């Protein structure tokens, strides 16, 4: 096998047909990219639809020439091509093989094959960076709440040595990337266009920082435009290249919820941050939690680490409120404490009767309450310590 | 069986031992309340702890006299006693029989027997009012968000003819009751003290309105004080008397989460409203959703009705965003639309090549896009309709 030919053929194939196309991927699996490319160029696509699509794209140029030009363009930019033959290829994306959704009615939902190759801008080895990585995705039109949560998550993950992967979009994506950058961590933006012209242009400064300290990654050749369906095609890579995905905010129609469905389909942790039910930007998050029993509600870094961390090392402690002196009282002690009137001294028998406990139980519990400083013994009876009125009843 | 004796014995038993005590309930099941009372008064309680508790309470009065006085006091107040022999007894509470939690380490968690009798203030028949009822419970120190959601839920349920049941506490409870009252609906406050002195006093005006148009209910005799453990003992009745329970806000240590665990234990719908993960008042809600797979995330009335409503009549539609003209385009049409530059006229072949679809597919899709008013055909090519620039790509 000529590796240079193999690489050029992979590039040509991703240009000739959109990435993820199962028909193409199956041919590559069987006969390799060089033979697949030759077959497609000869009009030998196994389906009419693919044959016609190839024919149409050929009007725009010669795939081999396009591929060669893409390599030159990438060289000038300092970007590189990574294929399954390279040491830095992220093996996890092969799990997309499980994701053949024949029943799906849209091409982007159906054509979910693993990528044939990835363009990478940045100096870290791709596989190493993605080994301990978490995707943080969500709405572009995020709220202050979502931006806050995404930034905190990105920062927290980064601080713990995790790579934060997202899509480089406005809103949640950018907040997650920025959080990671603030922590001095590596962050990866997986793009739906060429790594030379990351979209959106408004995030250019962010992309420049990511390219310097992290990675920009794309399946599309340099120069490619961010056509709308490409974002959805791209999402499967975000889901498959990471140990798990976190959705921070999503409206009912957000593409970010699709990333989560991809993660669920390949049995990766799919984590969802809830939000106010009054917020349109959490509707998609709540629907995911309702629809998919495997989607996991997370409220912050501890929960995320519990899902993606090595078992037993990153378990989140259950939520606890503040500790009060009355917390560890048993029911008898609580009844005795409550049976004491707010003011005045009460006799032992009367306390026991009000509390409905035996006199000797009352005596023992009163001794305990005295030790805790909640009750004082005086004038032959018992009274509440003035500063320690019992807290109001709990609903 | 002498029904008057039976009623007085039930009253005396709830005073002599806290409601829910399994030992007492099992004796009543076997030999009836009159014989049970006589046995307890003779020192014949089956356990030392119960025998001592009974002996202590006897110092505070004669149970039969207390019971007779309670009936008089209730008569003066216009309250009544309801027992399992009455037509208006809510049969659903018997499901608490399933709730014998022998492993539980606190008395209030362990002693969860059905009530022996209930005091009722208000004119509606208890069983009828509780037939179509939903519990809405939550934190006292609720936030504006929680109060808003609870009020809306109470109103919405009331408007649809459902009874809203809660505990009459500040915060979520009061908001749910008020929402129902605003809808002109029946609402029921299940109290942890006598129906003559509903707690908290700050809700007196609310309790007066509930007593007029709904019901105040309690297991404790008139005059009883709201000792702290009683709120937790009471919670099991809220869970068991309703078709399902909704938790709106709860801190990590809230008693309201215990109501939900009761509902879960007897397999009633346990619905939880999520909130911002930044809010301490939603920590208990999120923990419930994480801990109990059967706890159901709900975001509003439609979801609640779906859980408690008759199957098939109250199904909530899945959340949907606004409809756009491009929503129903297939992937080919979307690619063709995206392939059109923002400005200028482009030829058919070039469009097909950019979109990666067959020329005749492009032609068909362009005709469709023209019909939708998204594209115009002019100067031998195609252009975007000026006012219909394609929407920005979706992440």
pLDDT of A342 over the 70 cut: yes
**Which residue from A221, A239, A242, A220 is spatially nearest to A229, judged by alpha carbons?**
A220
CA distance B28 to B17: 13
Q: Is A18 on the interface with B (CB under 8 A)?
A: yes
Nearest CA in chain A to B59: A353
- Residues near B88 by Cβ (< 8 Å), separated by ≥ 6? B82, B120, B125, B126, B127, B128
User: Who among A61, A140, A293 is closest to B395 (CB)?
Assistant: A140
What integer pLDDT is reported at residue B314 of this predicted model? 53
Subunit contact B357:A53, Cβ cutoff 8 A: yes
> CA distances (Å), A165 to each of A91, A151, A178, A205, A245, in order?
16, 13, 11, 17, 9
Quote the CA–CA distance of A255 and A12 in Å, as a whole number: 27
- Closest A-chain CA to B224: A354
State residue A268's pLDDT score: 95
Q: Are B150 and B157 in contact (CB under 8 A)?
A: no
Instruction: Measure CA B112 to chain center.
Output: 19
The pLDDT-based confidence of A55 (bands split at 50, 70, 90) is very high
Q: How confident is the model at residue A109 (pLDDT cuts 50, 70, 90)?
A: confident
Q: Do B393 and A332 touch (CB under 8 A)?
A: no
Please name the residues in contact with B150: beta carbons below 8 A apart, sequence gap of 6 or more.
B136, B138, B142, B172, B175, B176, B179, B248, B249
Paired with A165 in beta bridges are A135, A188
Does residue B323 carry a pLDDT above 80?
no
Largest CA distance in chain A: 106
Among candidates A56, A296, A395 on the partner chain, residue whose Cβ is nearest the Cβ of B362 = A56
Contact A252 B56 (CB under 8 A): no
Nearest CB to B286: which of A56, A299, A338?
A: A299
Phi, psi (deg, nearest 5) at residue B121: -120, 125
Chain A residues with CB under 8 Å of B301 CB are none
CB B183 within 8 A of CB B159: yes
Residue A316 has pLDDT above 70, yes or no: no
Structure tokens given for B314: 């109250």
**Residue-range domains of chain A with CATH:** 1-64 (no CATH), 78-308 (3.40.50.450), 331-384 (1.10.10.10)
Is the pLDDT confidence value at A151 over 70? yes
Nearest CB to B299: which of A52, A108, A286? Answer: A286
Contact B116, B67 (CB under 8 A): no
Looking at beta carbons, which residues of chain A come within 8 Å of B303?
Answer: 290
What is the 8-class DSSP label of residue A346? B
pLDDT tens per residue, range A171-230: 999 999 999 999 999 999 999 999 999 999 999 999 999 999 999 999 999 999 999 999
* Gyration radius of chain B over CA positions: 30
Confidence check: pLDDT of A333 > 90: no
* Residue of chain B minimizing CA distance to A139: B395
Question: pLDDT band at residue A310, thresholds of 50, 70 and 90?
Answer: low
Could you give the CA distance from residue B231 to residue A391 in angstroms, rounded to a whole number? 13
Q: Which of A148, A301, A395 to mutate to test the interface with B (most CBs of B within 10 A)?
A: A395
The CA distance from B231 to the nearest CA of chain A, in Å, is 6
Q: Which of residues 62-101 of B touch A (CB under 8 A)?
A: none
Window from B153-162, B181-190, B276-285, B353-362 with minimum mean pLDDT: B353-362
Q: List the Cα angle A250/A251/A252 in 5-degree steps.
A: 120
A18: left (phi over 0), alpha (psi -120 to 50) or beta: beta
The three-state secondary structure class of B369 is helix
Positive or negative, the CA dihedral A303, A137, A174, A195 is: positive
Chain A segment 152-191 residues within 8 A of B by beta carbon are 167, 169, 171, 173
pLDDT one-digit tens code per residue, B341-379: 888 888 998 888 888 888 888 888 898 888 888 888 888
**Helix (H) / strand (E) containing A79:** strand A79-82
Per-residue pLDDT for A387 more than 80?
A: no
Token reading at B347: 């030829």
Residue A318 has pLDDT above 80, yes or no: no
Spell out a b/e string for B316-327, using b for 16 or more CB atoms within 10 Å of the CB, else e. beebeeeeeebe
* Total count of residues recorded for chain A: 395
- Residue keyed to tokens 């000792």: B227
pLDDT digits (tens, 9 = 90+) for A232-287: 999 999 999 999 999 999 999 888 999 999 999 999 999 999 999 999 999 999 99
Is B153 a residue whose pLDDT tops 90?
yes
Min CA distance, A199 vs chain B (Å)?
A: 10
pLDDT at A170 over 50: yes
Q: Does B328 touch chain A (CB under 8 A)?
A: no
As a whole number, the mean pLDDT across chain A is: 90
Coil, helix or strand at residue A244: coil
With a pLDDT cut of 90, the percent of chain B lying above it is: 70
DSSP B346: B
The 10s digit of each residue's pLDDT in B284-315 is 999 999 999 999 999 999 999 999 985 445 55
At A395 the pLDDT is: 44
Residue of A301, A325, A322, A327 whose CA lies nearest to B251? A322
- Contact across the interface for A276 and B107, Cβ inside 8 Å: no
Q: Is A40 on the interface with B (CB under 8 A)?
A: no
Residues of A in contact with B315 (CB under 8 A): none
What pLDDT score was predicted for residue B335?
85
Q: Is the pLDDT of residue B269 over 80?
A: yes
Cα–Cα distances in angstroms (integers) from residue B357 to residues A234, B347, B351, in the given order: 19, 14, 9
Residue position matching structure tokens 């409870």: B173
Q: Give the SS3 label for residue A81.
A: strand
Cβ contacts of B296 on chain A, cutoff 8 Å = 290
Q: What is the DSSP letter of A186?
A: -
Q: Give residue B30's pLDDT band: very low, low, confident or very high (50, 70, 90).
A: very high
pLDDT of residue B320: 53
Would you state the structure tokens that stand for residue B148, as one six-digit string?
Answer: 């808003």
* Residue A390 pLDDT class (50, 70, 90 cuts): very low
Q: What is the mean pLDDT of chain B?
A: 90
Give the torsion sign (CA, A288, B290, A305, B283): positive
Return the minimum-mean-pLDDT range out of A143-147, B53-57, B188-192, B296-300: B53-57
Supply angle C-alpha A103, A91, A20, rounded to 5: 35
Instruction: Kindly determine whether residue B53 and residue A303, on different chains, have CB atoms separated by under 8 Å.
Output: no
pLDDT at site A36: 97
Per-residue pLDDT tens over the stretch B134-144 = 999 999 999 99
CB B297 within 8 A of CB A274: yes
Peptide bond between residue B84 and the one before it cis (omega within 30 degrees of 0):
no
A-B interface: how many C-beta pairs under 8 angstroms?
241
B192-225: b or e for each residue (b if 16 or more CB lie within 10 Å)?
Answer: bbbbbbbbbeebeebbeebbebbbbbbbbbbbbb
B382 touching A, CB under 8 A? no
Please give the share of chain B, as a percent, with pLDDT higher than 70.
91
């Amino acid at each position: 096998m000529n590796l240079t030919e193999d690489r050029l053929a992979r590039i040509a194939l991703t240009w000739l047909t959109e990435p993820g196309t199962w028909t193409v991927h199956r041919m590559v699996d069987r006969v390799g990219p060089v033979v697949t490319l030759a077959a497609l160029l000869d009009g030998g696509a196994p389906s009419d639809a693919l044959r016609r699509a190839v024919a149409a794209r050929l009007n725009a140029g010669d795939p081999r020439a396009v591929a060669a030009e893409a390599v030159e363009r990438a060289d000038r930019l300092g970007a590189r091509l990574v294929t399954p033959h390279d040491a830095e290829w992220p093996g996890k994306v092969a799990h997309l093989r499980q994701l053949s959704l024949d029943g799906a009615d849209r091409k982007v939902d159906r054509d979910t094959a693993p990528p044939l190759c990835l363009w990478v801008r940045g100096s870290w080895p791709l596989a190493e960076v993605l080994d301990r990585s978490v995707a943080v995705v969500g709405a572009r039109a995020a709220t202050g709440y979502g931006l806050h949560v995404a930034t905190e998550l990105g920062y927290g993950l980064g601080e713990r040595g995790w790579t934060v992967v997202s899509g480089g979009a406005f809103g949640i994506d950018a907040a997650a990337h920025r959080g990671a950058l603030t922590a001095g961590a590596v962050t990866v933006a997986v793009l739906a266009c060429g790594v030379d012209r990351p979209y959106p242009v408004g995030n250019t400064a962010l992309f420049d920082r990511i390219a310097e300290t992290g990675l920009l990654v794309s399946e599309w050749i340099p120069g490619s435009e961010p056509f709308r369906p490409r974002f959805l095609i791209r999402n499967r890579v975000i889901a498959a290249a990471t140990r798990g995905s976190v959705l921070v905010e999503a409206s009912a129609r957000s593409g970010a919820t699709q990333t989560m469905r991809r993660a669920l389909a390949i049995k990766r942790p799919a984590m969802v941050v809830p939000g106010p039910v009054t917020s349109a930007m959490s509707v998609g998050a709540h629907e995911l939690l309702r629809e998919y029993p495997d989607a996991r509600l997370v409220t912050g870094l501890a929960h995320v680490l519990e899902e993606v961390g090595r078992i037993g090392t990153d378990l989140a402690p259950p939520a606890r409120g503040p500790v009060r002196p009355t917390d560890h009282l048993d029911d008898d002690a609580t009844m005795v404490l409550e049976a004491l009137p707010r003011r005045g001294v009460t006799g032992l028998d009367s306390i026991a009767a009000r509390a409905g406990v035996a006199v000797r139980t009352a005596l023992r519990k009163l001794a305990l309450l005295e030790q805790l400083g909640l009750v004082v013994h005086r004038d032959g009876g018992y009274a509440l310590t003035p500063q320690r009125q019992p807290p109001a009843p709990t609903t």
